[in-house]
Chain A
Amino acid sequence: MDFSVLWPNTPYMLDGLKVTIVLALVSLAGSLVGGTFLALLRLSPWWWLRWPAILYIDLLRMVPLIMVIFWFFFLLPILTGGPVGATTAALAALIAFNSSYMAEVIRAGIQSVSRGLVEAGRCSGLTYRQCMWNVVLPIAIKNILPSLVNRLIALVMGTSLVYIIGVTEFFRAANNINNRIFRPYEIYISVAVVYFLLCYSLSLFGRFLERRLAYAKTS
């Protein structure tokens, strides 16, 4: 094994890594927004808001991410009537998919806020919406930070799957190099190491948040 053959290719790999990180950050932001709205709909007192949200969340969680990516890849051109870039399709799929998981995490967070607080907020004259945005959500988000970090790890690993529709993110970049210099051992091991460092440091951060949260609860 000779890892030095990879040196000339590092700029190309780094470009791919940048795409992976951008994909992860954009779909994180998108799925946080989407997930929050889905969670609020899911907890809505009105059934005609609640049921579609339940259907969406549960359906998306039963389908493999690859299928969702394919599906958006084929759906978007039909909807817009013209060609749609692979990156757009990939982002749409990642956001749609991860929103459903985020929604469940956020819902758990909202339900972890004690009823007393909500009732106190409502009693002091806040509307349902004000109470949600200003009282419940800030506490809920603090409670679910560790689970959000875990979702972020899954999300980062998920970005490697957009490889199949031709987005040149980190994994595809590595494959392109492998097709040229054919050094599968060196390439896949270094790819694995990079992903591992990324995900493992995130998971250590998640554990740190979890400890701090446990500490805050006991003190």
Chain B
Amino acid sequence: MNYQFNWGIVLEYRSLLVDGLLVTLQLAALSFLASILLGLTTAIGRSFMPTYVSTAFTVYVEVFRNIPPIVQFFFWSFAVGLNVFPASLVALSVFTSTYIGEIIRSGIASIPKTQAEAARSSGMPEFYVIFYVILPQAVIRVIPPLSVEFITLIKNSSIAMTIGLTELTFQTQEIEARSFRGFEAATTVTIMYVLLALVVVLVMHLFEHLVRLDIRKG
């Protein structure tokens, strides 16, 4: 090993890394929101709607979860022709929503059938049964797997670099191109992703704690 390490490069290019981190956070936050909305829609569609609607949602889920995300990024960017950020947002949200939809659907399935039956027989319209009785209980139950999915989403957001979004991973290449210090850059960015995941785990843990306390108070 004759390689001379130069970790000073990290400080020298810190503004690139910070910019990249901000773009990653922005993309991850927006597409998490969008994929929760999309996932909620597919879960409701597959759990409560008539067969032809639920079949359509099943097709949506099976199609978009079985195509590698990089292909989806390229499709929205180069075939459809969206700008880099919207293309990343759509690709990431659609891909993640298929997983989140399945998680929420299993949450809905875990609520005993008797709950819905009791609500219906006491005269509640279907809308209330879904949004006031079933969903609140289901959503609370799926918070832990959703937080895992958020970490996965942050990791998948790195694929946006392939279509040219200047997020965190993109900056690795940028620093490598400017200084030929690819290893130092890649190591630093890797550590940043680990820290990001740890922060998410911590925050979600606190959030989960708060929500659960809330339930117990009734």
Contact = CB atoms under 8 A, between A and B. Distances in A.
Contacts of B156: 64
A192 B162 contact: no
A74 B186 CA distance: 8
Interface stretch (A4-12, A127-135, A140-148, A181-189): A181-189
Given A71-B186, A184-B79, A79 B1 contact: yes
B1 A63 contact: no
Interface residues of B, number: 39
A153 B70 CA distance: 14
Looking at chain B's contact residues, the main secondary structure is helix
Given A160-B71, A195-B67, A203-B66, A78 B183 contact: yes
Contacts of A87: none
B182 A164 contact: no
A31 B194 CA distance: 22
Interface in A40-70: 59, 62-68, 70
A71 B159 contact: no
Given A62-B198, A160-B70, A188-B74, A70 B1 contact: no
A31 B173 CA distance: 27
A200 B197 contact: no
Looking at chain A's contact residues, the main secondary structure is helix
Given A62-B198, A66-B161, 11 more contacts: A59-B194, A64-B169, A65-B155, A67-B190, A68-B190, A71-B183, A81-B2, A160-B71, A163-B162, A175-B74, A184-B74
Interface of B: 1-3, 62-63, 66-72, 74-75, 78-79, 151, 154-159, 161-162, 169, 172-173, 176, 182-183, 186-187, 189-190, 193-194, 197-198
22 contacts: A62-B197, A67-B172, A68-B190, A70-B172, A70-B173, A71-B190, A75-B186, A153-B66, A157-B69, A160-B70, A161-B68, A161-B159, A171-B68, A175-B74, A184-B75, A184-B78, A184-B79, A187-B79, A192-B75, A196-B67, A203-B62, A203-B66
Interface of A: 59, 62-68, 70-71, 73-75, 78-79, 81, 153, 156-158, 160-161, 163-164, 171, 175, 178, 184-185, 187-189, 191-192, 195-196, 199-200, 203
